[in-house]
Structure 1
Amino acid sequence: MPIPHPAPDDLQWQTRLLRAGHAPAFEGGHAVNPPLVRASTVLFDNVAQQREMRARRGGERLFTYGARGTPTTFALEDAVSELEGGYRTRLFPTGLAAIGMSLLAYLKPGDHVLMSDSVYEPARHLAHSFLAPYGIRCTFFNADGSDAESLMEPATRLVYAEAPGSLVYEMCDLPRLAEMAHARGALLAADNTWGSGCQYRPLALGADISIMAATKYLSGHADVMMGTVCTTQAAWQPLAERSDAFGMTVSPDDAWLVMRGLRTLSARLQMHERHALRVAGWLQARPEVATVFCPALPDDPGHALWLRDCSGTNGLLSFELRREFDVPAAERLIDGLSLFGLGASWGGFESLATLADMTRARSVTDWRARGPVIRLHIGLESPDDLMDDLDRAFGSLRC
């Protein structure tokens, strides 16, 4: 027999205050965007329902506790899965957290991982500072993937690539890497932050795991930190189990912000691309510049792969100064910029510049004989204004 509950009018005002407004009734339509749902505790109707939900949540996505996600984070997971063309997605506090959890999910002591020489530098640090002490060996292969097959071992369980590569945007043949990894029972993970799911789709090219820093283009406003990992169905369970075990979650407020940014992702990227290609062409004509790094340029070594595998470029490009200019000269150039912010991130609406230490960021390719490299993120400002700003800053090289 059901236990009678007190009517609202029988409760004291302090109690009524806490119970009011949980499910406001309204008539009408629905909001364009999903509502922002903040929750730690999730309530159930009875013990049987709570027990059932907890029993099912290992294999299903259910609203059972804030650390397991809320309707707001679920909505963003679905949007990223749609964008990446994958089975399911998990959200992480940062892009680096997404990388770290992916390594933890698929590797154990005694395993070997092949990692591209072009990976995001903190991923390289993770390999040295965390994987190695725990008995997980890492070998770096050439950024273009040319020597990867020769470095495969019986213990290789994961091949980790980034294409286009960090800082100087090397392309690799991802379908070939996938075929190589799968033939030996290994998985292929790809950092897809550059491609953002719009211009590059690693899962469609054969990868099992696609990782993005939603901090960058998905957010687009330089005001939120987040990482995403989207996988195939076959690769999903290890990631889900390890993420739950570590209590990995994100703020619903941050998820809502990324969802808002995602709505304009395609339009923003097209504008970033137009502006960046204008600046890249202008830089190629500068006498101070030895090389402009951007796979969308016809003379880039990875251009043919970019044409085959990508559907566009973004606001990122880097350039190498000629050898007569040293690092202090490159620093003067950056300090002479007024429209470019000096910052290490990218993907927002603003233009940024930073010095890239390629001798530290690469271990397979030797950069010691080359000139200093400056990375630019070309934002949504007028490219004419940006080129004028760069022109003034180049004047500092002649001081």
Structure 2
Amino acid sequence: MSSGSGKKPSTRLVAAGRRQEWTGSVVNPPVWRGSTHLYADSADLRRGRPNRDGEFYYGRRGSPTQWALADALTGLEPGAAGTLLFPSGVAAIAGSLLAVLNSGDVLLMTDNAYEPSRTMARSLLDPLGIETRFFDPLDVQGFASHFCDRTKAVLLESPGSLTMEICDVPALTAVAREKGAISLIDNTWASPLGFPALQQGCDVSIMSLTKHVGGHSDLMMGSVAATTTVYNRLRLTSQALGQVVSPDDAALALRGLRTLSLRLERETVSAIAIAEWLSRRPEVARVLCPMLPDSPGHDLWRRDFTGGCGLFSFVLRGSEEQARARFIDSLELFGIGYSWGGYESLVIPFEAGRIRTAMAAPGGLGVRLSIGLEDPADLIADLEQAFAAMERA
């Protein structure tokens, strides 16, 4: 069954990865468990197998369950030569950076990057002799000035996972390409359904499949889709690091993939309704949600994105951490947890702002919400009672 690149996203999601040679007479690819792949005879062993999906070699290179997931994800990412699977989103980021950087190189990292990416720069890349320099993701005019002859890669994230700033990805990647640097992006927020990152100029598109693709908070996995120019480098580095995912988890991710479009649509509609409601609350200083018409970056979101998701933030008016704690602790429908993109709503506190560069808007006590599949009216009622509890000393 072909994924049909000309079809609409929902249709492609249903068909993606379901090749006849992997599914046989059933709808879904079976779960192929097994480390050892057998050869017919000594001559077969000597001939070996090509280093590509669909060729049995050894369990670490995958089997039909993992290949079907990788194939499905490749079909959703226009311009991708292939997709690699990793045991987590952080592993996908680390594997990608290690593939494109060497000792002495410089990495430019957006200053609104995911915290584990920042930690990676300090604890993994720096000891290897790879320097990381942070830049203001909104300063397109000044971006070229950050490059030097050792700059080999740029790591983007749009929107930023806490500040929710949308950067001009096509403009930034055009500069990187001119300077001979590889552009990577953490594209978990919108997924390729909402932001075709490779078409927008990136060379590498990274996702935490733990989030939207899994969708049910019951697996951890990451993926990396890349253009032809860098895909083989990524593949060989991944294999050298021994990266492999469980076929059981791959089957769960394939299951989640089928409803991805529906869940993203529902979460986005709910998130916009809740963000609009929050923007009218006296307790809220500002809402950080690029999907709102009056939000900074909304024009770029309208230009470059075809969808959103349920993740956004807001900043409380005032600076009492105890009040924020009362608000969060009073929520009944929002779990307190770092993940997002599952069917359940979540909340975490954070300090609004960047680490190295200044934001245009002032900082403050932030709250990040991940809107799940609950009825938005119930979530709004829960937020309302939590605001009331916050005001009670």
TM-score by length of 2: 0.91
CA contact 2:54–2:64 (8 Å) conserved in 1: no
Q: Which residue of 2 aligns with 1:68?
A: 61
Structure 2 distance, partners of 1:145, 1:42, is 51
Q: Which amino acid aligns with 2:238?
A: S
Greater gyration radius? 1
Q: Is the 8 A contact 1:358 1:367 kept in 2?
A: no
Q: Give the SS at the match of 1:197.
A: helix
- Check 1:341–1:310 CA distance in 2 against 1; reply closer, same or farther (3 A cut): same
Conserved in 1, the CA contact under 8 Å of 2:267 and 2:372? yes
Query: Hey, what's the Cα distance between the residues in 2 that align with 1:242 and 1:374?
Result: 37
* 1:248 equivalent in structure 2: 243
Q: Does 1:130 align with 2:118?
A: no
* 1:92 maps onto 2:92 in alignment: no
Please give the alpha-carbon distance, in whole angstroms, between the structure 1 residues aligned to 2:230 and 2:123: 26
SS at match of 2:219: coil
User: How many angstroms apart in 1 are the aligned matches of 2:29 and 2:314?
Assistant: 42
Cα deviation for residue 145 of structure 1 reads 4.3
Distance across 2 between alignment mates of 1:388 and 1:60: 49
Write the deviation string for residues 190-249 of structure 1: whole angstroms up to 9, x where unpaired.
Answer: 100001111111101010000000000001000000000000011111101111111100
CA–CA distance in 2 between the matches of 1:297 and 1:33?
38
Partner of 2:173: 178
Q: Deviations over 1:45-84 (max 9, x none)?
A: 0122122224x32x66522111011110000000111111
Counterpart amino acid of 1:391? E
Question: Aligned partners of 1:329, 1:120: CA distance in 2, in Å?
Answer: 26
- Aligned match of 1:372 in 365, 368, 378? 365
Deviation >6 Å, runs of 4+: none
Cα shift at 1:362? 2.8
| Corresponding residue for residue 72 of structure 2 | 79
Deviation at 1:331, TM superposition (A): 1.1
Q: Deviations over 1:332-371 (max 9, x none)?
A: 1000100111111000000111102345x63213699632
Matched, 1:390 2:362: no
In 1, Cα distance between the equivalents of 2:362 and 2:230? Answer: 42
SS at match of 1:78: helix
Aligned residues of 1:113 and 1:137 also touching (Cα < 8 A): yes
CA distance in 1, matches of 2:273, 2:369: 13
Alignment of 1:112 onto 2:75: no
Alignment partner of 1:317 is 2:324:
no
Is the 1:326–1:371 Cα contact (8 Å) retained in structure 2?
no
Partner of residue 6, structure 2: none
Which 5+ residue runs of structure 1 have no aligned equivalent? 1-27
Greater CA drift, 136-145 or 380-389: 136-145
3-state secondary structure, aligned to 1:283: helix
Is 2:257 the partner of 1:257? no
Deviation, 1:33, is 1.1
Between Structure 1 and Structure 2, how many residues are aligned? 368
| Equivalent in the alignment of 1:187 | 182
Is 1:337 the counterpart of 2:331? The answer is yes
